[in-house]
Amino acid sequence: MKPAPFAYCRPATLDEALDALARLGPDARVLAGGQSLVPALNMRLAQPSALVDINRVPGLDGIRLAPEGLVIGALARQEAVLRSPLVARHAPLIAQAMPHVAHLALRTRGTLGGSLALGDPAAELPACAVALDAVIRVARRGGEREVPAARFFRGIYATALEPGEILTAAVVPLRDASWRFHFGELARRHGDYALVGLATAARLDGGAIAEARLVFAGVGLTPVRATRGEAALVGRRPDAAALAAAGRALDADLDPPSDVHASAALRRHLARVLLARALAALVGAA
Amino acid sequence: MDARPEVEIALIVNGVPVRRRVEARKSLVDFLREDLELTGSHVGCEQGVCGACTLRVDGALARGCLMLAAQCDGSRVETIEGVAEAGEIADLQRAFAEANALQCGFCTPAMLLTADALLRDDPDLDATSARRGLSGNYCRCTGYHAIVDAVLAAARARREASRG
């Protein structure tokens, strides 16, 4: 189980990396943390002609507060995100999700940008990005563009990234203290991909839910926003009646797959379990 | 910048400067085992799941099968050979032996390095966090109880030693 041969380069700047991608064409891939790409290479599921290793490109691994929000650089290692006081304070949903991401020896290498650019529908960070209305920053030759997370994930391992582009950061908008967050996940073993995951963001007003985001991982081709479930929560206190109403609504929101890991019926059940946990956490935080 | 199928790399392995020419597709663990004859890092699943190839790159735990040797140009790599010879984990090694925490030994080098990282991060770790922290390392003999016992024994000993 060894990769097919490929060419390799390690540019020293973002411009060099963009030039290399342009020159090498669409069969070249960006190598960031490599914790998903390298297994795919080893199994020859991916056979790129070349890898452009961006690990030594400076300035892409920062985590900083800016007027537009918390800017997490694409090369910020998952372990650094997990331990970041800025993330804990300004993006607590992501802080809660990080311990579910793989294991220490993978988080030390795996990156925030890699998780987003891969677009695995069972992964934690894409669901968080959608629940937080994050903005994905993308560099291209001669410019930059921004894509809202809600429009970034297009299908299994498919994103809005175009050939020649490099994801450079995720910007998480800052929320005031009326917002509460919860991340929950059920997996066969700790560190495995989620059977179902749920990223919840809710704005509370006088103990009632004024606004809600319920974004599920592992139940579709992309992170899935349960808009009917969200609507069922609005105006209610996070109590048993709200859970029952939103739980019923989830049946229409979610059409999860059956696969070797779990049946669709089990995933529907687990989605409700996670919703119950999220609402219980909202009560605790209210 | 040209992309090449072979690259020159210079790195520090267990404190020793090494310079080699490698195929770009060669994994770090294959480079260590085949080119440097450091066979303590084991190759199991080659997809990051089993943990047998776990080692340190620039001081941080990493999977040797999920890094290319080419990426390690300029890096400091530490394997079980270097860490054990330096005496850094002698207490863990002793605890593993005393708790009968290795049977075939295939997972042991990576278990030791992972356990050491867990203990450095949390000297007070309990059985639950030890199990969680080791859950990325598979033991094909399924001897997990003894491994957790050994890690907890080493944790106790390190705490007592630090209290002096």
Which CATH number is A222's domain given? 3.30.390.50
In a domain, A125, yes or no: yes
Flag whether pLDDT at A148 surpasses 90: yes
Based on the domain organization, do A235 and A136 belong to the same domain?
no
Residue B80 confidence (pLDDT): 98
In a domain, A237, yes or no: yes
The region of weakest confidence among A19-28, A183-192, A248-257, B64-73 is A183-192
Q: Bridge partners of A205?
A: A208
Domain boundary among A149, A172, A195: A172
In a domain, A47, yes or no: yes
Residue A283 confidence (pLDDT): 84
Q: Does A42 contact chain B (CB < 8 Å)? A: yes
Residue A284 confidence (pLDDT): 78
d(CA A142, CA A156): 29
Based on the domain organization, do A147 and A225 belong to the same domain?
no
Instruction: Kindly give, in sequence order, each residue whose CB lies less than 8 Å from that of residue A204, ignoring residues fewer than 6 positions away.
Output: A178, A179, A180, A210, A282, A286
Domain boundary among B26, B61, B83: B83
Domain boundary among B61, B83, B105: B83
Based on the domain organization, do A39 and A67 belong to the same domain?
no
Flag whether pLDDT at A171 surpasses 90: yes
Give the pLDDT confidence of B3-59 residue by residue, as tens digits.
Answer: 999 999 999 999 999 999 999 999 999 999 999 999 999 999 999 999 999 999 999
User: Which domain CATH number covers B63?
Assistant: 3.10.20.30
Other CB atoms within 10 A of residue B132 CB: 18
Distances (CA, A) of A211 to A132, A137, A249, B3, B117: 12, 26, 16, 50, 42
**Which domain does A89 fall in, by range?**
63-172
**Which domain does B109 fall in, by range?**
89-163
Residue of B nearest to A20 (CA): B1
Flag whether pLDDT at B66 surpasses 70: yes
Q: Does A101 contact chain B (CB < 8 Å)? A: no
Domain boundary among A143, A172, A201: A172
Residue A144 confidence (pLDDT): 97
When scoring B25, B45, B50 by the number of chain A Cβ atoms within 10 A, the one with the most, hence best to mutate, is: B25
Based on the domain organization, do A164 and A261 belong to the same domain?
no
Instruction: Kindly give, in sequence order, each residue whose CB lies less than 8 Å from that of residue A257, ignoring residues fewer than 6 positions away.
Output: A219, A220, A264, A267
Based on the domain organization, do A166 and A224 belong to the same domain?
no
In a domain, B1, yes or no: no
Based on the domain organization, do A115 and A196 belong to the same domain?
no
Based on the domain organization, do B114 and B131 belong to the same domain?
yes
Based on the domain organization, do A108 and A149 belong to the same domain?
yes
Domain boundary among B57, B83, B109: B83
Residue A285 confidence (pLDDT): 61
Based on the domain organization, do B140 and B101 belong to the same domain?
yes
Instruction: Please state the rounded mean pLDDT for residues A88-110.
Output: 97
In a domain, A138, yes or no: yes
In a domain, A58, yes or no: no
d(CA A265, CA B78): 47
Other CB atoms within 10 A of residue A66 CB: 10
How open is the CA angle A222-A170-A160, to the nearest 5 degrees?
Answer: 45
Percent of chain A with pLDDT over 90: 95
In total, how many domains does chain B have?
2
Based on the domain organization, do B120 and B52 belong to the same domain?
no
Based on the domain organization, do B77 and B101 belong to the same domain?
no
Flag whether pLDDT at A85 surpasses 80: yes
Q: Are B74 and B10 in contact (CB under 8 A)?
A: yes
In total, how many domains does chain A have?
3
Based on the domain organization, do B94 and B79 belong to the same domain?
no
In a domain, B34, yes or no: yes
Q: Do A106 and B7 touch (CB under 8 A)?
A: no
Based on the domain organization, do B152 and B120 belong to the same domain?
yes
Q: Do A191 and B136 touch (CB under 8 A)?
A: yes
Residue A189 confidence (pLDDT): 84
In a domain, A1, yes or no: no
Based on the domain organization, do A200 and A268 belong to the same domain?
yes
| Nearest-neighbour CA in chain A from B30: distance (Å) | 10
Based on the domain organization, do B158 and B105 belong to the same domain?
yes
Flag whether pLDDT at B1 surpasses 80: no
Flag whether pLDDT at A166 surpasses 80: yes
Higher-scoring residue by pLDDT: A156, B162: A156
Q: Where are the alpha helices (DSSP H) in A108-255?
A: 112-118, 124-131, 149-152, 227-233, 240-253
**Among residues A199, A235, A232, A203, which one has the least CA distance to residue A216?**
A199
Q: In whole numbers, what is the pLDDT of chain A averaged over residues?
A: 96
Based on the domain organization, do A148 and A102 belong to the same domain?
yes
Other CB atoms within 10 A of residue B135 CB: 16
In a domain, A123, yes or no: yes
User: Which domain CATH number covers A44?
Assistant: 3.30.43.10
Distances (CA, A) of B6 to A13, A61, A116, B64, B68: 21, 27, 30, 19, 12
* DSSP-derived pairing of the beta strands A28-31 and A50-53: parallel
d(CA B78, CA A279): 46
Instruction: Please state the rounded mean pLDDT for residues A49-61.
Output: 97
Residue A286 confidence (pLDDT): 52
Based on the domain organization, do B62 and B93 belong to the same domain?
no
Which of chain A's residues have a Cβ under 8 Å away from the Cβ of B27? 2, 38, 42
Kindly report the pTM of this predicted structure.
0.95
In a domain, B141, yes or no: yes
Based on the domain organization, do A94 and A74 belong to the same domain?
yes
Domain boundary among A116, A137, A172: A172
Based on the domain organization, do A166 and A68 belong to the same domain?
yes
| Nearest-neighbour CA in chain A from B128: distance (Å) | 12
When scoring A14, A16, A24, A38 by the number of chain B Cβ atoms within 10 A, the one with the most, hence best to mutate, is: A38
Based on the domain organization, do B100 and B127 belong to the same domain?
yes
Based on the domain organization, do A233 and A209 belong to the same domain?
yes
Question: What ipTM was predicted for this assembly?
Answer: 0.94
In a domain, B75, yes or no: yes
Residue of B nearest to A19 (CA): B1
